[in-house]
Amino acid sequence: MDRMWAAAAVGAGAVVSCAGAFEASIRVVAQRASRVYVAPGEVFYVEALLTYPHLVGGWHQFAGVQGSIVIDGDAGSPSNFRCFFSSSVLIRWGEFVGGSRVGLDYELTPAFFQGGFIPPQIPNVNGLLGGYDLKIDEPGEYGIRWEPGPTYTSVRLFPSVQSPYWVDAKTEYFGTTVIVTPCRPDLTTTAIPGQAGYGEPDGVLNNDDFAYYLAQFAAGNVLVGDQTHAAIPDQPGYGMPDGVLTNDDFFFYLAIFAAGC
């Protein structure tokens, strides 16, 4: 796949010098979560967020970022792209390739940085590199991640908006998983480990699914057992996995199993 590449200037924070160790992260989330369940054709929101520290000092610190939001197989139908930046000569928004948003094109060679965006002075900068609505019709499990460009393989930090100098920050990348399923409690074909279809949904909800969930929950398998943040409908985080396995997950699964599909 051919991709256009981009570098975004995001300003905030302060540094004392260009030397030293710096850390940054780019986190791709769906519905503000690292794992989410949706029905086929259900619209959800994908976004890529940049974070780097605001340090006490005399200079504004700018970040140079390059890359794309990439979805497994470029799956899905996207719409309503949005960003902190306005499209301009230095800032081009790239394009959709299927469900992926590739080539967030902001500036290819910022040897002399000009322009940028200065958010409020807050402890950490959370810049929206890009976000959009997405729907996927085909059931399955889809990974969504940030793919760095060929020039900026990490976030570059600049001491000022016009500085030709930078440091490459140690950058962590976090992706998200979207499970598209017409029947969320349908988890397996059989409850017997080693048999064909174990851990593979078959479109039928029966006692095998409940037994499979119970076994995974008891084994501490967070990827299967973690189903919700809260077990009470309308509470914040209801139906949204939170990376922690608790009794709320068990009672949530019990409720959706009882409700059927």
DSSP 95-143: EEETTEEE---S-S--SS----------SEEEEEEEEEEEE--S-EEEE
How high is the pLDDT of residue 66?
83
Contact 6, 88 (CB under 8 A): no
Give the rounded percent of residues in the chain with a pLDDT score beyond 70.
Answer: 74
At residue 20 the predicted structure's pLDDT band, cuts being 50, 70 and 90, is: very low
How high is the pLDDT of residue 28?
95
- pLDDT tens for each residue of 166-198: 778 889 999 999 999 999 999 999 999 999 999
Q: What is the pTM of this model?
A: 0.77
- pLDDT tens for each residue of 48-60: 988 876 554 444 4
* Whether residue 63 has pLDDT greater than 80: no
> Residue 208 CB: number of other CB atoms within 10 A?
19
- pLDDT tens for each residue of 150-162: 777 888 777 665 6
Residue 74 main-chain phi, psi, to 5 deg? 50, 40
Token pair in block for residue 156: 């570059």
* Whether residue 111 has pLDDT greater than 80: no
